[in-house]
Structure 1
């Protein structure tokens, strides 16, 4: 996977966000953060029926009817005919050689506390809860709660405000595979540095 390919996929994933959200100041010290002694949890082996560590073997949506399917743009996939969670949502992923390493689920902000309840039921209390500030291009500031569940292999972040301040989002990362992507990107950048 080339640097350009990954850059394109990332650009597609955040294109809408770039037009609405100028900055997220979550890198600052959390306004209100609580780190919990996290109990042992059963890390997920899949997310919404898509297995970690395996290629996404789904039909293209142009050929599918009512079955789970994918729309492919390089290493960026979006999905249709998703499992019913009781509310509308969208799902996409970034993939390395067809294997997902990063999922993004977005839904209306009104569904945020339903997501919180669902994830607490499934995984228990988050390992970390913090407040971050997001700022729109117009200068408006909003406070967003971020809850994180994390184990040796999988990290789940539930954001009250996603890329749009009108949406909530869940980001699920296969940590080992994401690290491989980072290493590959670094290697490609170094190998092409001589062309500058």
Structure 2
């Protein structure tokens, strides 16, 4: 699947089997194991931080932070990440980093560790494929099994009073969440169509 992203400076990034590619205006620069980057089975997602840092979600090697060539930081299950396959992440307006993995979700703490966020709607950990923040600062997460959850602003833990299960569609995965121009949230799904939050309910 093609993978393209642009940083604040307009530089284009793409992925390759062993790492990432960056277009410098004339040619592609390759960053992989020889550059100190180890990604396991490849790159699933990319995030450009406010400070110019690059975050990578890898397949098998957890969360990777590029803090400037050739320096990389890495978090795996040893640092509390619920899984080493990272599918999505979000830097919210409170500067917290929310990470969705194949085995659940977690929020990076200031001490550099991830306390695992328990899943309250099932005994099975969900694969969080997409995460967004709405206009009120609530965090929305969509799973590959069709679950859509809203977490109240500022909360990093999970309880029935905090997380709200909005949609569960076992026949189709919630592939993407995004805000429209009215700051309403959309959730796109396979086979089961799509649903829209208008502040009250889903249709």
TM-score range, shorter chain: under 0.3
| TM-score for the superposition, normalised by structure 1 | 0.24
Structure having the higher helix fraction is 1
Greater relative contact order (Cα < 8 A, sep 6+): 1
Structure having the higher strand fraction is 2
